[in-house]
Structure 1
Amino acid sequence: MIKDITIGQYYRSDSILHRLDPRVKLVGTLIFVITLFFSKSPLTYAASLLFLALMIGLSTVPLSFIVRGLKAVGVILLFSVVINIFFIPGEAIVHFGVIRITKEGVITAVYLGTRLVMLVLGTSLMTFTTTPNELTDGLEKSLGFLKLIKIPVHEIAMMMSIALRFIPILTEELDKIMKAQTARGVDFKNGSFLHRMKSMVPIVVPLFVAAVRRANDLALAMESRCYHGGDGRTKMKPLKYCRRDLLAYLFLALFLALMIYLGFFCPVGR
């Protein structure tokens, strides 16, 4: 289960998506997420699925590696689908005692499950193809206009980047702690629910201590390098748009226009 957590990890490759400007990928991810909620129609979902499949193919990230991340949020996905199946009123297709499954509930559950899966895969693809440093620079550049109203954009982007970078580090730390406690005889799988909850204490406490220790080491390292925020700082690799980035923006604009048409104006899609 621990190895299935791929959120925040970077997959090293030399694909066209890896070479795109991080601002393009941020805008593309935002457009993809917004268009997922346009309407509940087969055409819009088919277009979103086709777009996602194309991006996965261009990224050259193995599909097995991408799909593996769904296991970490599988409980949330399953809970959302089950809630919609059993608690949405409508035309009953299964009625057994207090159990009532409606046609509208099944349709809503299918749409919601598909939407959540594409949402997780689409947002994860951005972190797979963008390093934390690139993501920080892209966020800072994209939100630079907020500096006019005294919002610390650089500090916010830095915190988000550090949080993403710490996910795989703490995941690896958690795996080591669990193996060490298992070797000492701690049983995490058997016993009552209360027993299993108590067995998590030898994991949570060392993990919390390790997280605080790493945060303190990071703070000392930043201070020793005279880091005092983003004011007056220069970039070793400043972001510059090139021809492929402009073509990517054009492609995203066409995709957005298509989704608006399918979601709001296409007679078949509504």
Structure 2
Amino acid sequence: MLRDITLGQYYPADSILHRLDPRVKFVGTIVYVVSLFLFHNWGYLLGTVFLAVMIKLSKVPFKFITKGLKSIFVLLAITMVFNILFTPGEVLVRIWKITITREGVAMACRMSVRLIFLMIGSSLMTLTTTPNQLTDALESLLGPLKKIHVPVHEISMMMSIALRFIPILLEETDKIMKAQMARGADFESGNIIQRVKNMVPLLVPLFISAFRRANDLALAMEARCYHGGEGRTQMKPLRYQTRDYAAYGVLMAYLVCSIGLRVCGL
């Protein structure tokens, strides 16, 4: 399951999305996430079509994108159960003290779709954008905050490092699990609680490995005379192209349609 997490990974390909300015993709992801919470019924059809087109344009295999959904299966199941059982409304089924309502089922479906689309949309951004590009994009978008002395570069760098460490730590966890399984550890049998308890011995070596990697990264940055964002320049400055302005136009049209569907109650 750890290898199935795609968030934070980069998938190299020659596609329109890969060539877009990272700022466009960052803004596009935010617009898409916001639109998911505007939809009621027919709006989800618009969101599905938009996401399907983006996946097609990215040239990232659909199976590679969707395998990341395995990591949120438990969260998805918990979300559905809570919405089904605790949303008041028209009663469909009543078993002892358990009541299932029509509104609860509808809310569970909506929240599940939102969670799935949110995961796929976020993964699509990281799959088509390198960590360095994400750092530059975030620093550029937050640039106006420098006027009020907000450490924009440092914040962007921390977020970039955090994203980059996700697949690294997952790979490290997988190695530790295999090493302990070779010594007789069992991580697959038992109920959920027992499996969680079996994962506890992984924490100590994982934390040690994470701190070691963080220390190595800090030493490497110091050796390269890194001292923060002041006075730093970019090897590849971000510049908008015609395709980026066209992409902004598509995003604006999508957002207007989403708001229109919300206003119309669709």
Fold conserved (TM > 0.5)? yes
Q: Alignment identity in percent? A: 60
**Compared CA separation, residues 189 and 63, structure 1 to 2 (3 A):** same
For residue 203 of structure 1, give the secondary structure of its aligned residue in structure 2. helix
Aligned equivalents of 2:78, 2:192: Cα separation in 1: 19
Partner of 2:21: 21
Separation in 1, partners of 2:132, 2:196? 37
Corresponding residue SS for 2:171: helix
Q: CA–CA distance in 2 between the matches of 1:95 and 1:200?
A: 38
Between stretches 89-98 and 211-220, larger displacement belongs to 89-98
| Worse-superposed segment, 182-191 or 58-67 | 182-191
> Could you tell me which residue of structure 1 aligns to residue 111 of structure 2?
112
Q: Is the 8 A contact 2:83 2:107 kept in 1?
A: yes
After superposition, where does 1:161-200 map in structure 2 within 5 Å? Answer: 161-191=160-190, 196-200=195-199
Q: Please state if 1:61 is matched with 2:86.
A: no
Is 1:34–2:34 an aligned residue pair? yes
Q: Cα gap change, 1:32/1:186 in structure 2, threshold over 3 Å: closer, same or farther? A: same
For residue 94 of structure 1, give the secondary structure of its aligned residue in structure 2: strand
Specify the code of the residue in structure 1 equivalent to 2:29: T
> 1: distance between equivalents of 2:244 and 2:193?
54
Match of 1:229 in 2: 228
After TM superposition, the runs of 4+ consecutive aligned structure 1 residues lying more than 6 A away are none
One-letter code of the match for 1:9? Q
How far apart, CA to CA, are the structure 1 residues paired with 2:236 and 2:73? 38
Where does structure 1 lack aligned partners over 5 or more consecutive residues?
A: none
In structure 2, the residue matched to 1:4 is 4
Query: Structure 1 CA distance, aligned partners of 2:194 and 2:77?
Result: 25
Cα RMSD between the aligned structures? 1.3
- Report if aligned partners of 2:21, 2:238 keep a CA contact under 8 Å in 1: yes
TM-score relative to the length of structure 1? 0.95
For structure 2, the residue ranges without an aligned partner over 5 or more in a row are none
Contact 1:88 1:105 in 2 (8 A): yes
Distance, in Å, in 1 between the alignment partners of 2:242 and 2:190 is 60
AA aligned to 2:23 is R
Deviations 1:121-166 (A, max 9, x none): 1111100000000000000001100001100000000000000000
- What's the CA shift for 1:189? 2.4
Q: Report how many residues are paired.
A: 266
